Structure 1
């Protein structure tokens, strides 16, 4: 087993770094941490890191099903869903209350990556400090 504290970093291939950066900043409130050049950008939510690298999805065997952002409360998921719909973000799966107490919906970023906004009863209440 590899010791870990959970998923804290994800790297995505995107066709347009600026467009992807603007999406993650606008939709999820992420902050730019470092942009060494026009082909790479590193964003953070304060506890997670997303790297955006210019590249195509063409011949790669590596595929990502989806990435997820943990949301603090059910009300926050519901409000986020309403907001995403109101600004025209593509909804992949509608808001759903699951039997285990979780609540989620899925959207798509400008490069087609699927993102889940998720309230999960055991993870969402946790807080992290540095």
Structure 2
């Protein structure tokens, strides 16, 4: 069902502690493409129907940067077409995740609502869910 107020939640901005490391992670692991790099402290990616911004925490803020003991944002997700695509992505990215500064948080699992996913984190501990969801995985994206 279309929302008359907006076209969906398709932009996410994350503050990062090491922009080059985070950039490699999102480019190499998730295949995100740079669409704009206005300066050395900011980079914007897209996979076609979304926008991810990474913003370097300023050097003078880094010493006092103390994220909470646990992440307030539970997780973000990337949508996959099928449960088999989730398994394929898990097999493909698992060997590279730690090398790029992330980690596997939870292996693939079938959920009660019919969805299927696994969770991994980026270099700053932001959790990403690779998700097949029966309703939205079937949608056509502009």
**Which residues of 2 match residues 64-103 of structure 1 at below 5 A?**
64-89=73-98, 90-103=103-116
From the superposition, tell whether residues 77 and 13 of structure 1 become closer, same or farther in structure 2 (CA, over 3 Å): same
Q: Structure 1 CA distance, aligned partners of 2:93 and 2:11? A: 24
Of 38, 42, 46, the match for 1:36? 38
1:63 to 72, 79, 89: 72
TM-score (norm 2): 0.82
Count of equivalent residues? 128
Name stretches of at least 5 consecutive residues in structure 2 with no aligned partner.
none
2:137 paired with 1:124? yes
Change (3 A) 1:2 1:58: farther
Conserved in 1, the CA contact under 8 Å of 2:29 and 2:96? no
Q: TM-score normalized by structure 1? A: 0.89
CA RMSD of aligned residues (A): 2.0
Structure 1 runs not aligned, ≥5 long: none
* Cα 1:65–1:37 shift into 2, 3 Å: same
- In 2, Cα distance between the equivalents of 1:87 and 1:107? 11
- The answer to which of 50-59 and 76-85 deviates more is 50-59
Q: Which of structures 1 and 2 has the bigger CA Rg?
A: 2
- CA offsets 1:98-122 (integer angstroms, 9 cap, x no match): 1211001100101111101100000
